[in-house]
Amino acid sequence: SLAFAAQEAMLTGESEPVDKSPADPVFSGTHAVRGRALARVTATGPHTRLGQIAALTRRAQPDPTPLEKRLHQVALRLAGAAILLVLAIVAWGLYRGEPLREMFLLGVSMAVAAVPEGLPAIITIALALGARRMLDRRALVRKLASVETLGSVTVICTDKTGTLTENKMRVELTGALATPDLLAMAALASTPGDPVDDAILDAAGNSYSRPPLQSEIPFDSARKRVTMIYADFAVSKGAPEVILAECTLAESDRQAATEWITSHAALGYRILGVSRDAHWLGALALRDPLRAESKPAIAACLAAGIRPVMLTGDHPLTAQAIARDLFSPAEPPPDSVYARVLPETKLEIIERFRQQREVVAMTGDGINDAPALKRADVGVAMGLMGTDVARAASDIVLLDDNFSTIVAAVEEGRRVFANIRRILEYFLASNVAEIAAMLLAPAFGMPLPLLPLQILWINLVTDSLPALALILEPADPGVMREPPRRLAEPLLRRQELLTVALASILLTAVSLGAGYHAFSLGYPDWQTRVFLVLVLSQLFLSLIPVAVLRLLGAQFLHPNRKSCVQRDPKE
């Protein structure tokens, strides 16, 4: 039937129903919203459009997360350092004539001291607590590692309909020589079920009463209008240029109406003309309006150095108009708006950004979004309007389908990464101090200051428990006004390495100094003093000095540089 229309948003991203002629295909998984049709099955299973998207989803495999890559690098370096340390200590001991068994046990103990055994468990707890806080912000985490990855995101590719917009058409304007009965007559040419007609009926409210309908000439691609015939009159609604052409108007009025229609269509409105018995009643401007939170969320992304990219199946003019509203007063950056996108196109866009060393988050709700959701560094599905396929392919599910929730989750991800960095600083500073004390003690004529059992006890108790407190550190006030981390950035930068060096020097000097003082006076408990001072100084380090040393390290590296983050005067 020429009056048949299907909603294909889940496959194409097109927010409006698509009119079908007998030659047009109707896809599996779409919904009929208007008219009647007799269909003939031409493909099933993997040969359908739905099956092709499923095949794309299976091929789109995710890569390791940035945190996993960084931790892998740290683990390799620590493992290499531990092996070299064991070999060096054993060789040094054998050269001095020490028993092989004691040197081997000491070497193993030093290797244990070099490797922070509690780090994997602490990081898992940090990610789990971050996921719990994200849930409080209406973001459900399905894959734990995505908590930190979201904090590293540099590009967010987002669907328009339902995420940035309300996914509900509204009549926002009436004009083009509108008459007082424009909405009432438009309602008489509308039927419930179609999103556009529902918007017109909502706008009309109780301003009309529907007389008995005599007949109907349905909308089709040739007529581009629907006509409802009642006992005393007929009402037509459709493409404004078609409705104008069948109405008698003065040339000046026709020109004024045409200019209004053209200017508002360029702003992204869907324009419908309405006539009664070939008499022009005016035009309606409809649009799926932006969510109230979308524009501030886009501004927050830009302030945080994150590039928002809108992907939609809508017409390019509609996409550009929405983008202008989202980004105003600034202009949308280049390559920030893509219209008429297909599932393959979304996947290509994701791949292109990844080849540019960007960390990409992708939001979506339809079956067509599944391949891109799975291939992105972080796939974010809609929990309210999203399909089961999209949610299954995602890493995070938004429980409110709101783009601003993604921004809140990014802030939480940055907080988690900052705390993981603090934890690693604390672990390494403590462990380097233990190793330095063991290696420097013989240079002062002292025996080994720590027994293997004491080293193990420090690593398992003193290191791990204080690190749990660092997990709960709040986010820095300016965390969302800083640029995102690049993929090439290591887990510990020069500033953090300097912090580790300063902290380990302080711990070594305090603990070994206390031990040397007791050893020189002949106290038999000098090893116990080294042990206690080292433990207490590590506990003290977990409370205050890491932040202080980080500040000192920053001033040492860049003494004349001011902070690039502009603080709020109230902070």
Cβ burial, residue 550 (10 Å; 0-12/13-18/19+): buried
Tokens of 21: 């002629």
**Which residues partner with 173 through β-bridges?**
285
Cβ burial, residue 58 (10 Å; 0-12/13-18/19+): exposed
Closest by alpha carbon to 519, among 466, 441, 453, 428? Answer: 441
Cβ burial, residue 182 (10 Å; 0-12/13-18/19+): buried
Tell me the C-alpha distance between 480 and 483, whole Å.
8
Q: How far apart are the first and last CA of the chain?
A: 65
Closest by alpha carbon to 268, among 339, 333, 366, 185? Answer: 339
**Which residues partner with 31 through β-bridges?**
7
How many other CB atoms are there within 10 angstroms of residue 420's CB atom?
A: 24
Q: Which residues 6+ apart lie within 8 Å of 67 measured at CB?
A: 145, 148, 149, 152, 417, 420
Please indicate whether residue 335 is annotated as part of the active site: no
Pairing of strands 234-238, 337-338: unpaired
Q: Which residues 6+ apart lie within 8 Å of 562 measured at CB?
A: none
| Contact between residue 53 and residue 371 where contact means Cβ atoms under 8 Å apart | yes
| Contact between residue 30 and residue 7 where contact means Cβ atoms under 8 Å apart | yes
Tell me the C-alpha distance between 384 and 405, whole Å.
13
Tell me the C-alpha distance between 371 and 27, whole Å.
18
Closest by alpha carbon to 1, among 33, 31, 36? Answer: 36
Hey, what long-range contacts does 264-268 have (CB within 8 A, 24 or more apart)?
A: 264/173, 264/175, 265/317, 266/317, 266/321, 267/321, 268/317, 268/318, 268/319, 268/320, 268/321, 268/322, 268/325
Tell me the C-alpha distance between 214 and 212, whole Å.
6
**Which residues partner with 361 through β-bridges?**
156, 378
> Out of 19, 159, 202, 365, which one is annotated catalytic?
159
Sign of CA dihedral 519, 523, 527, 531: negative
Tell me the C-alpha distance between 215 and 194, whole Å.
19
Cα atoms in the 13 Å half-sphere on the side-chain side of 352 = 9
Tokens of 369: 């979004």
| Contact between residue 557 and residue 499 where contact means Cβ atoms under 8 Å apart | no
**Residue-wise burial string across 466-491, b where 16 or more C-beta atoms lie within 10 A, e elsewhere:** bbbebbeeebeeebbbeebbeeeeeb
Catalytic center residues = 159
